[in-house]
Amino acid sequence: MTLSHDVAGDGPALVLLHSGVCDRRMWDAQWLPLIDAGYRLVRCDLRGFGETPAPDRPHNDAEDVLTLLNTVGITQAALVGSSFGGHVALEIAARWPDRVSALALICSALPGHEPSAELNALGDREEALIETGDIAGATELMVETWLGPEADETAREAVRRMQRHAFEVQIAAAEAFEPIEAEIDLAAILAPCLAVSGAHDLADFRQIAAQLPDLLANADHVELPWAGHLPNLERPSAVTDLLIDFLKDTVPTN
């Protein structure tokens, strides 16, 4: 199965991978500016998000993305991943390092990370609401948790719409299939990496970003003092500028 996706622009390839509470629409504000900056952009919906159906068999998200890149004829790309999308980006970069030119990880998850008590408690609250059929309540929990204090109503409504849709798609599936976790070695990652965290995010993701320079051969960490977990929705232009500045040094367009 080919993931639902968009492709546009010319130049070095840049793949945008969404968070676990959003879908590919989370990159709307970055889409045209990154194309105008000289990149060929790809964004996709992982299985069970946006326009891609929920998985009907065991699957691996990194392999799905690699299949998509092969389908659209991209041999190497820079990867921009938000939260779970960062997890997928790290797996791709570790398993197929020659396919990745650069990594920009925004409040990224990390393969093998042991969740904190706070993150586990959040998952328990979410599951309890879904089990009682309170999808609206579970959606609002995600909106309140993952957006920082500077998020406006446009950002809140965008997350609300994307998360509600993901819940509906995944709940309607006949059987739930979790992604297959592959064993990876982060030391295999060769691409330069920018690890971004938000000062108002959960501690798990701030800690992951802070430790990535110790885990990867060529990584820098930047914390945004104003940001929550989804900074590209909270201050779109600021994150767009941050990405372009990083990419012009690591994946120049000319």
How far is 23 from 90, CA to CA, in rounded Å? 18
Q: Are 96 and 67 a contacting pair, CB within 8 Å?
A: no
Q: What's the pLDDT score for residue 175?
A: 73
Estimate to the nearest angstrom the gap between the alpha carbon of 99 and the chain centroid.
Answer: 18
Note the pLDDT of residue 209: 98
Average pLDDT over residues 77-105: 98
Mean pLDDT of the chain: 96
Tell me, what's the pLDDT at 173?
A: 84
Tell me the β-bridge partners of 100.
Answer: 77
pLDDT at 174: 65
Other beta carbons within 10 angstroms of residue 72's beta carbon come to: 15
Total number of domains in the chain: 1
Task: Give the domain range for residue 51.
Answer: 5-250
- Write the CATH number for 208: 3.40.50.1820
Query: Of 92-101, 148-157, 166-175, 229-238, where does mean pLDDT reach its minimum?
Result: 166-175
Helix axes 135-146, 153-172, angle to 10 degrees: 140
Q: What is the rounded distance in angstroms from the CA atom of residue 152 to the CA atom of residue 150?
A: 6
Q: How confident is the model at residue 56 (pLDDT cuts 50, 70, 90)?
A: confident
Tell me: the pLDDT tens digits for 10-48? 999 999 999 999 999 999 999 999 999 999 999 999 999
Please state the pTM of the whole predicted model.
0.97
Q: How far is CA 205 from CA 115, 130, 210, 214, in A?
A: 10, 24, 9, 15
Which has the higher per-residue pLDDT, 128 or 174?
A: 128
Torsion, Cα 66 71 249 252, to 10 degrees, reads: 160
CB 201 within 8 A of CB 107: yes
pLDDT tens-digit series, residues 179-225? 898 999 999 999 999 999 999 999 999 999 999 999 999 999 999 99
Beta strand 219-224 pairing with 100-106? unpaired
Tens digit of pLDDT for each residue in 97-150?
999 999 999 999 999 999 999 999 999 999 999 999 999 999 999 999 999 999
Q: What is the 3-state secondary structure (H, E, C) of the chain?
A: CCCCEEEECCCCEEEEECCCCCCHHHHHHHHHHHHHCCCEEEEECCCCCCCCCCCCCCECHHHHHHHHHHHCCCCCEEEEEECHHHHHHHHHHHHCHHHEEEEEEECCCCCCCCCCHHHHHHHHHHHHHHHCCCHHHHHHHHHHHHCCCCCCHHHHHHHHHHHHHHHHHHHHCCCCCCECCCCCCHHHCCCCEEEEEECCCCHHHHHHHHHHHHHCCCEEEEEECCCCCCHHHHCHHHHHHHHHHHHHHHCCCC
Q: Tell me the mean pLDDT in the region 239-248.
A: 97
